[in-house]
Structure 1
Amino acid sequence: MGLALLAALLVGGGGWYYVAGARSAAATPVPATKTTRVRQGDLIITASGAGSLVPATQANLGFKSAGRLAELAVQVGSQVETGALLARLDDSDARVAVSQADIGVKLAELKLTQLTKGADAAALAGAQASLAAAQADLVRLTTPATAADLAADRENLIAAQKALATLQAGPAPEDLTIAASDLEKAAVAVQKAQADYDKVAYRGDIGSLPQAAALQQATLDYEKAKANHALKTAGPTDEQLAAARAKVALAQNQLDLLQQGSDPAAIAAAQAKVTQAQAQLDALTAGATVEDVEAAQLQVQQARNSLQAAQAQLDNTVLRAPFAGTVTAVRAAAGEWVGTTAILTLVDSAHIQAQFYVDESEMGGLAVGNPVHITLDALPDKTFAGRVIRVDPTVDKVEGVPVASALAELEPPQAGSEQGAALLAGMSASLEVVTAERRGVLLVPIVALRELGPGQYAVMVASPGGELTMRPVEVGLKDFINAEIVSGLTAGEAISTGSVDTSQ
């Protein structure tokens, strides 16, 4: 209501002005009114900025562990794809560590399998046999000896003593006489067989004749008789005597034990053997405990973790490109010992950005998504399109001047274009940032606006007869020359832009 009243007052005042002017026209010349037409067009607001090109992605690359650089696969300027080999350390120690860790996993898994599959049949049979033997020994020691047992042990002792005495006495004379006689008979038989053989030795079939077979048999009988004669005349060996004495001692000891009864210490030892054998059998039949299985499972997991860590160490001996780009720096050579500091710099040369600054007075419309037009000092005849992707939330100072810092991403060059190859990080750039724009809107010169109040405007509309009428309008975007009319006017209407002095 206040705006309408103000407009009415202004219109009324304007009417009075023209009436008064008409009355005094004869005395004072009226300045001519300058007009223009409301037109339809585009209004673009820009902010100027300056900066330089930077890569979208840059990485300083190095190894996670120190080692000797075995291979350097790139040089400055090399173009690489994602995953390409850049460099490699000597990996001999790392491969050994992986092999050892793999063996550790297999051993841990084998132990777990043995615990969970149950007792082995052979081990179970052995444990049962050990228990039976231990129990038999205990029964023997704890059972009183019978008369038959004593008689049997005495007979064993007497037999052992006789065998020893026989060995110590040596062969009987009659045995020596028989052995000598057998040897002499065998020698005579050989001589006769040899004579019979010699009579037919000239024949070609001598090998199939009975004389040959008889000679062979006689020779064998002679060797047997000769060996028997030597055995009889040589007497017993030290080993034979020692074995015979041991049998006598064993038989005597067994008889003494039966006669004296069981020793308490021997019974206790036998009982301990039974207990131990029973525990071993119980452990086999019961299988592994829950705790044993869980411990084995943890050992398997620990071994696998060690293998994974060893494999990671092996993988870390290879340096690969994390993205496609260009190598811009190399700080090592093959054969050198390198640490964990960066030895290569890789930049994404396919995606270039512009880091730029805008004066504080023009930063009002600066926002993410604003289109930008970029020209380079090195390529002044080319313009590159892009879009703002970041606006820093604080104001910086460059050489004492407050500025807004922002980042723009350049649009990728079209296929076959040579523009992308010409863009290098570090190039100086000038930017025009489109902070606001209106397309196909009604426009009037900024001088045609009459400000009625804060944010309230009107224009003087000229009739075909030249009369001026003030009309309130809604103003949208405006720059230093034109203003967008959102409502209140139509295209083609004539409006006043001021007056022209025609008195001269």
Structure 2
Amino acid sequence: MSLSLKKITGFFTKNKRNTVIGAVVVVTLLVVASALAFFKPAVGAVATATAEAAATPKYYTASVSVGDIELSASGSGNLISNSVVELAFSTSGTVTRLYVQPGDMVKTGDLLAELNASKELQAEVASRKLAVIEAQQALNQLQQNAEVSLASAFEAYVTAKADYEEALFNSQRTAYSRCDQQTTTRLAQTLERATEQLKKLTDTTTEEYTEAKNNYETASANYTYCVSYSEDEKTLANAALSVAEATLKQAEATYNKLKEASGVDPEELALAEANLSNAQSKLEIAQENLNGTTLIAPMDGTVISIAAGEGQRVEATTFITIADLKDLMMEVSVDESDLSFLTPGTHAEMEFDSIANTVFSGSVIQVDPTLSESMEYKLATGKIRMDIENNPAAEQLLLGLNASVTLIKERAENALLVPLEAVRDLGNGNTAVFVVGADGNLTFRAVEVGITTETQAQILSGLQEGDTVSTGLVSTNS
């Protein structure tokens, strides 16, 4: 009877998906095979030794060690500042004064450079300032004269009311007799006598007739004037009443409006305020044009570059660049296959060729939404905020420096480590290893695995330092 040890030990491969049952079967079969070999009739000493050697499988082994392990990806980076401003004059001209040089540190509000300011711009600013002063004075005067304006409006209202009442009286009286009853009676009697006197005279050529006729006409006119108003008088009276009524309404409205506005006409106030605002806007434009001939530092930082020197003509393009060298960032690029490492919060370590034996740390704060291309490769890019506050080597950092970047997803120090080949995946999150005993026999033992890389695995429980594990079968014999 014979068994193939090659078949028996075939379970001990590098396949991580061997099951516990399979492992037990392997161990059992090995025991059976050993027993059969032991009980097999001996042919001779040489034959026995050969059989025993053939029955003993050989394995690769490794010791459980203690060390550091990390799951990381490598990339490259370029040092930039997170706070950079580019300053330009708003107009072209000749640089008359330059107060800084590249590398100088500046504070917010520092004067950096000046162009030759034209006399026209200076005169324009002066003119606009005067216009603002005049508009402000007009507004102030309007507000200061509020009491006088209100009193004048009230006086105009009282006068208009009196004129209206008089016009109303004159209009209403045209419907009645102009004279009192006594006067009317007297004039009627005079007209009656003049009429009778004129009727008595038949010769119209005499002076007596002419005199009588004149007396009649005068008496008739006086009586008519006394007892009624003419249509023209009525029309004029009604027209005067309409004018007086309109004047009264206007005066009353003006007075009420000023009274509600504490004596200031809202329309005049709005106009005065609009004039002031317009004057101020024109002054701001003129001042901006003049200010465009100077450059002021908008933040604390370091002068990175200057486009020209004193006496040179410049256009309205970037002239001075300022950056905050305390707010440094790393533009990082990694292969698209390592995109999972480039996530916000991932710890990063950076090393510069120009700064030996120094590692800078930081964390990913931004991931660009699209991939970039470099030759035939696609790269994932992002930004890393660097922690340089307590790093003395930070003084050696210059914008534009290239760095080697390591993105560390997981890291463990003083961890129990085994080769990755020693770990068997049992499924459902379960793992195990074959532990080699002092007698060379294998024991199947469940373990808890932590960080894994392409070559190593961290063991959280189930093993201890110095244990020996099998990493695979060396060879088998029939």
Range class of TM-score, shorter chain: 0.5 to 0.7
Aligned partners of 1:112 and 1:293 also within 8 Å: no
Provide the rounded CA distance (Å) in 1 between the counterparts of 2:96 and 2:232: 72
Do structure 1's residue 485 and structure 2's residue 462 form an aligned pair?
no
Aligned residues: 378
Aligned partners of 1:374 and 1:384 also within 8 Å: yes
Match of 2:383 among 404, 407, 412: 407
Provide the rounded CA distance (Å) in 2 between the counterparts of 1:309 and 1:110: 21
Partner of 1:54: 80
Do structure 1's residue 309 and structure 2's residue 309 form an aligned pair?
no
Partner of 2:138: 107
Provide the rounded CA distance (Å) in 2 between the counterparts of 1:67 and 1:35: 78
Provide the rounded CA distance (Å) in 2 between the counterparts of 1:310 and 1:481: 73
Provide the rounded CA distance (Å) in 1 between the counterparts of 2:442 and 2:361: 45
Would the alpha carbon gap of residues 466 and 282 (structure 1) be closer, same or farther in structure 2, given more than 3 Å must change?
Answer: same
Aligned partners of 2:20 and 2:444 also within 8 Å: no
Q: Cα deviations across residues 7-49 of structure 1 (Å, max 9, x unaligned)?
A: 4434434444554565697224235656444344431123222
Would the alpha carbon gap of residues 307 and 381 (structure 1) be closer, same or farther in structure 2, given more than 3 Å must change?
Answer: farther
Alignment of structure 1 residues 423-502 onto 2, 5 Å: 423-451=397-425, 457-498=431-472
Match of 1:321 among 297, 312, 325: 297
Partner of 1:357: 333
Q: TM-score, normalised by structure 2?
A: 0.62
Do structure 1's residue 81 and structure 2's residue 81 form an aligned pair?
no
Provide the rounded CA distance (Å) in 1 between the counterparts of 2:274 and 2:474: 96
Provide the rounded CA distance (Å) in 1 between the counterparts of 2:469 and 2:304: 62
Alignment of structure 1 residues 105-504 onto 2, 5 Å: 105-108=136-139, 110-111=141-142, 114=145, 117=147, 119=149, 121=151, 283=250, 286=253, 287=255, 289=257, 293-299=265-271, 301-303=273-275, 305-306=277-278, 309-310=281-282, 312-313=284-285, 314=287, 317=291, 319-331=295-307, 340-414=316-390, 417=392, 419-451=393-425, 457-498=431-472
- Partner amino acid, structure 1, of 2:134: I
Q: Cα deviations across residues 269-311 of structure 1 (Å, max 9, x unaligned)?
A: 9999998788767755651648995434543553454355346
Aligned partners of 1:127 and 1:277 also within 8 Å: no
- Partner amino acid, structure 2, of 1:26: A
Compare CA radii of gyration and give the structure with the larger one: 1
Would the alpha carbon gap of residues 26 and 425 (structure 1) be closer, same or farther in structure 2, given more than 3 Å must change?
Answer: same
- Partner amino acid, structure 2, of 1:85: L
Would the alpha carbon gap of residues 303 and 109 (structure 1) be closer, same or farther in structure 2, given more than 3 Å must change?
Answer: farther
Would the alpha carbon gap of residues 106 and 18 (structure 1) be closer, same or farther in structure 2, given more than 3 Å must change?
Answer: farther
Provide the rounded CA distance (Å) in 1 between the counterparts of 2:250 and 2:311: 59
Provide the rounded CA distance (Å) in 1 between the counterparts of 2:428 and 2:64: 23
Instruction: Report deviation, 1:483.
Output: 0.4
For the residue of structure 2 that corresponds to 1:349, the secondary structure is coil
For the residue of structure 2 that corresponds to 1:82, the secondary structure is coil
Provide the rounded CA distance (Å) in 2 between the counterparts of 1:88 and 1:96: 22
Would the alpha carbon gap of residues 420 and 493 (structure 1) be closer, same or farther in structure 2, given more than 3 Å must change?
Answer: closer
Provide the rounded CA distance (Å) in 1 between the counterparts of 2:415 and 2:139: 79
Aligned partners of 1:108 and 1:299 also within 8 Å: no
Aligned partners of 1:474 and 1:488 also within 8 Å: yes
Would the alpha carbon gap of residues 432 and 304 (structure 1) be closer, same or farther in structure 2, given more than 3 Å must change?
Answer: same
- Partner amino acid, structure 1, of 2:106: V
Deviates more, 1:291-300 or 1:465-474: 291-300
Alignment of structure 1 residues 9-88 onto 2, 5 Å: 9-16=25-32, 18-19=34-35, 26-28=49-51, 29=53, 30=56, 35-63=61-89, 65-66=90-91, 72-87=98-113
For the residue of structure 1 that corresponds to 2:394, the secondary structure is helix
Provide the rounded CA distance (Å) in 1 between the counterparts of 2:48 and 2:352: 61
- Partner amino acid, structure 1, of 2:78: S
Instruction: Report deviation, 1:129.
Output: 8.1
Instruction: Report deviation, 1:460.
Output: 0.8
Aligned partners of 2:92 and 2:316 also within 8 Å: no
Q: Cα deviations across residues 94-115 of structure 1 (Å, max 9, x unaligned)?
A: 353244235324424544665x
Q: Cα deviations across residues 395-444 of structure 1 (Å, max 9, x unaligned)?
A: 332122233223222222427x2x23321112222222223212444321
- Partner amino acid, structure 2, of 1:46: S
Provide the rounded CA distance (Å) in 1 between the counterparts of 2:341 and 2:362: 17
For the residue of structure 1 that corresponds to 2:421, the secondary structure is helix
Aligned partners of 1:66 and 1:337 also within 8 Å: no
For the residue of structure 2 that corresponds to 1:94, the secondary structure is helix
Partner of 1:232: none
Instruction: Report deviation, 1:132.
Output: 8.8
For the residue of structure 2 that corresponds to 1:26, the secondary structure is helix
Instruction: Report deviation, 1:468.
Output: 0.9
- Partner amino acid, structure 2, of 1:365: F
- Partner amino acid, structure 2, of 1:476: G
Would the alpha carbon gap of residues 35 and 4 (structure 1) be closer, same or farther in structure 2, given more than 3 Å must change?
Answer: closer
